[in-house]
Structure 1
Amino acid sequence: MEMRERILGTALRMFKTYGVKGVTMFDIARDCGISKKTVYEHFVDKQALIDEGMQQLLNNHMAYFNECIVTTDNAIEEMVRNMKYVTHIAKTQNPVMLYEIQKYHPDTWKSVESFKAEGILCNIRKNLERGMTEGLYRQHLHTDIVARMRQLQLEAAFDPIQYPADKFEMHTVMEQVTAHFILGIATLKGHKLANQYLQIKEDE
Structure 2
Amino acid sequence: MKNKLQDIINTASLLFAGKGIKKTSVDLICHNCGISKKTFYQYFPDKETIVNEIVKKALVNTEKHIDKLRKIMADAPTELSTFFMYMQCNLSVFTPVFMSDLMKFYPKVYDLMLESKKSKFLPFFTENVKRGISEGYYRKSLDASITAALYFKQLDYALEDEIMLSEKFKFLSYINSFFLHGIVNRTGAEVLVSSFDEDNSGL
Q: TM-score scaled by structure 1?
A: 0.75
Residue identity matched to 1:11? A
Using the TM superposition, give the Cα deviation of residue 110 of structure 1 relative to its aligned residue in structure 2, in angstroms. Answer: 0.7
Write out aligned runs for 1:12-31 (5 A).
Answer: 12-31=13-32
Per-residue deviation, residues 177-202 of structure 1 (Å, max 9, x unmatched): 54554454434422332455579xxx
1:47 corresponds in structure 2 to 48
Question: Counterpart of 2:146 in structure 1: which amino acid?
Answer: I
Aligned-residue offset at 1:132: 2.8
User: Structure 1 57/177 Cα, relative in aligned 2: closer, same or farther at 3 Å?
Assistant: closer
Higher percent of residues as helix: 2
Partner of 2:37: 36
Aligned residue in 2 for 1:84: 85
For 2:19 and 2:8, how far apart are their aligned partners in 1?
16
Quote the sequence identity (%).
25
Mean Cα displacement is larger for which, 50-59 or 83-92?
A: 83-92
Correspondence 1:118-129 to 2 at 5 A: 118-129=119-130
Q: How does 1:37-116 map to 2 (within 5 A)?
A: 37-88=38-89, 94-116=95-117
CA distance in 2, matches of 1:37, 1:18: 23
Which whole-Å CA distance do the structure 2 matches of 1:73 and 1:91 have between them? 27
d(CA) in 1 for partners of 2:7, 2:92 = 23
The gaps in structure 1 that reach 5 residues or longer are: 200-204
Cα 1:107–1:125 shift into 2, 3 Å: same
Higher RCO, Cα 8 Å, sep 6+: 2
Aligned to 1:190: 188
- Helix, strand or coil for the counterpart of 2:35? coil
Secondary structure of the 1:51 match is helix
Equivalent residue, structure 1, for 2:133: 132
Residues of 1 paired with 2:167 and 2:47: CA distance? 34
| Alpha-carbon offset, residue 98 of structure 1 | 1.3
Instruction: Note closer, same or farther for the CA distance 1:173–1:42 as it changes in structure 2 (3 Å cut).
Output: closer
1 CA distance for matches of 2:94 and 2:173? 19
Gaps of 5+ in 2: 198-203
Equivalents in 1 of 2:34, 2:170: separation in Å?
40
- For residues 36 and 186 of structure 2, the distance between their equivalents in structure 1, rounded to whole angstroms, comes to 61
Q: How far apart in 2 are the matches of 1:26 and 1:171?
A: 29
Say which SS state the counterpart of residue 163 (structure 2) adopts.
coil
How many residue pairs were aligned?
Answer: 195
Contact in 2 for aligned 1:182/1:194 (Cα 8 Å) = no
- Comparing 169-178 with 80-89, greater Cα deviation is found at 169-178
| Distance in 2 separating the partners of 1:67 and 1:41 | 34
> RMSD of aligned C-alpha atoms?
3.2
- When residues 18 and 157 of structure 1 are mapped into structure 2, their CA distance, relative to the original with a 3 A threshold, is closer
- In 2, Cα distance between equivalents of 1:125 and 1:145: 8
**Contact kept? 1:80, 1:197, Cα under 8 Å:** no
State the TM-score, normalized to the length of structure 2: 0.75
